[in-house]
């Protein structure tokens, strides 16, 4: 089933049932080597899934769970290879949405869940987005309203003595560093150890073009002159409305921008634009996660994407 979290809607299955988990990959069109996150009702469930949960893991879990933080730890014996992509680690999270927590408590086990959309595309932040993407392929969609955070969880790797962020998300790097009392590097890309690490991800059908904030209109004009149907995605209305280019406004403020980003990218497709020009925010606070999503959305498409 699909269910709401504070980040995005997830496509969930019993994490201890291999056939059910394989169905997630079939519905999404997702390669099975890409690991999934196991969602838990509370931190008391961790020993069933992790071989060890270090002191730093306890520290960040105590501060950020329930919430938009996934911890990569050494997997326990019961964890299925299909969940981890055959890796020796597993991603665990206690979500911060009341509907998700009620579901997990009623179920009594771990729920493996990526975002409830087609692989590589824009994540869903409402139940309608799930229906639009997956239709009747999902048995049930729990509607918990719009997601409060609007971008995926931060993925923090604590499987070694050197913590690192594998995916920026709803918990800022600064807050993690304050909690751990040390610098925590961001290590995105490379081998797929966690969700969201492809060069292209979170992408609408329209081509996403990145430009500096003061070059949005100029870049839009250049693309329009080439025959493209262009939109500009910004949180500041241009002083003079550009001719032949439409503006889609993002909310002002990093948290608000994160919450509205995926809806805005979906609006670009709904209105039939084939190109959208957008600038990335400064990489501080939630701006790091928003910048990551926009850079991935603008990344080169790969052959494995449906």
Tell me: the pLDDT tens digits for 167-209?
999 999 999 999 999 999 999 765 545 665 545 467 899 999 9
Q: How confident is the model at residue 63 (pLDDT cuts 50, 70, 90)?
A: very high
Task: Please report the pLDDT score of residue 195 as a whole number.
Answer: 60
CATH number at residue 51: 3.90.870.10
The per-residue pLDDT of the chain, averaged, comes to: 92
192 in a structural domain? no
- In angstroms, rounded to a whole number, what is the distance separating the alpha carbons of residues 265 and 250? 10
Tell whether 45 and 161 lie within a shared domain. yes
Tell whether 214 and 174 lie within a shared domain. no
Tell me: the pLDDT tens digits for 146-159?
999 999 999 999 99
Tell whether 108 and 212 lie within a shared domain. no
197 in a structural domain? no
Can you list the positions of beta strands (E) in the chain? Answer: 2-3, 10-11, 13-14, 37-39, 69-74, 89-93, 111-112, 154-157, 164-167, 207-210, 230-234, 246-249, 275-278
Task: Please report the pLDDT score of residue 194 as a whole number.
Answer: 61
- In angstroms, rounded to a whole number, what is the distance separating the alpha carbons of residues 146 and 139? 20
Q: Examine the pLDDT at 295 and tell me if it is beyond 80.
A: yes
201 in a structural domain? no
Which range marks the domain in which residue 163 is found? Answer: 2-180
- In angstroms, rounded to a whole number, what is the distance separating the alpha carbons of residues 196 and 189? 9
Tell me: the pLDDT tens digits for 207-265?
999 999 999 999 999 999 999 999 999 988 877 767 889 999 999 899 999 999 999 99
Q: How confident is the model at residue 120 (pLDDT cuts 50, 70, 90)?
A: confident
- Global confidence as pTM: 0.93
Task: Please report the pLDDT score of residue 301 as a whole number.
Answer: 60
Percent of the chain whose pLDDT exceeds 90: 85
Tell whether 140 and 229 lie within a shared domain. no
Tell me: the pLDDT tens digits for 267-287?
999 999 999 999 999 999 999
Tell whether 81 and 216 lie within a shared domain. no
Task: Please report the pLDDT score of residue 193 as a whole number.
Answer: 57
Inter-CA distances, 127 with 1, 51, 133, 146, 303, Å: 11, 35, 10, 8, 29
How many domains does the chain divide into? 2
The tokens for 36 are 């999934």
Closest CA to 292 of 165, 167, 155, 174: 167
Determine the 3-state secondary structure of 232 from DSSP: strand
Tell whether 158 and 55 lie within a shared domain. yes
200 in a structural domain? no
202 in a structural domain? no
199 in a structural domain? no
Tell whether 173 and 33 lie within a shared domain. yes
Q: Examine the pLDDT at 133 and tell me if it is beyond 60.
A: yes
Task: Please report the pLDDT score of residue 197 as a whole number.
Answer: 52
């Amino acid at each position: 089933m699909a269910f709401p979290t504070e980040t995005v809607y997830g496509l969930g299955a019993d994490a201890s049932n291999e056939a059910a988990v394989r169905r997630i990959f079939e519905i999404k069109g997702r390669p099975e080597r890409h690991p999934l996150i196991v969602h838990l009702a509370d931190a008391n469930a961790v020993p069933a899934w992790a071989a060890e949960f270090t002191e730093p893991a306890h520290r960040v879990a105590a501060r950020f769970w329930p919430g938009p933080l996934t911890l990569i730890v050494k997997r326990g014996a019961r964890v299925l290879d299909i969940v981890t992509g055959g890796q020796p680690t597993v991603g665990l999270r206690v979500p911060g949405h009341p509907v998700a927590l009620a579901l997990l408590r009623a179920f009594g086990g771990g729920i493996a869940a990526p975002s409830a959309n087609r692989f590589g595309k824009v994540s869903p932040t409402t139940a309608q987005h799930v229906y639009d993407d997956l239709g009747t392929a999902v048995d049930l969609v729990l509607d918990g309203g719009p997601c409060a955070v609007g971008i995926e969880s931060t993925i923090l790797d604590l499987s070694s003595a050197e913590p690192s962020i594998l995916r920026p998300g709803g918990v800022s790097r600064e807050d993690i560093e304050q909690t751990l009392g040390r610098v925590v590097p961001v290590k995105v890309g490379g081998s797929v150890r966690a969700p969201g690490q492809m060069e292209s991800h979170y992408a609408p059908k329209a081509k996403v073009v990145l430009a500096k904030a003061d070059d949005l209109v100029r870049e839009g004009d250049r693309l329009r002159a080439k025959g493209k149907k262009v939109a500009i995605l910004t949180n500041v209305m241009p002083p003079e409305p550009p001719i032949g280019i439409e503006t889609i406004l993002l909310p002002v403020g990093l948290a608000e921008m994160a919450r509205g980003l995926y809806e805005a990218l979906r609006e670009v497709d709904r209105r039939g634009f084939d190109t959208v020009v957008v600038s990335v925010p400064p990489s501080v606070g939630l701006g790091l996660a928003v910048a990551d999503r926009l850079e991935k959305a603008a990344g080169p498409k790969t052959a494995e994407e449906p």
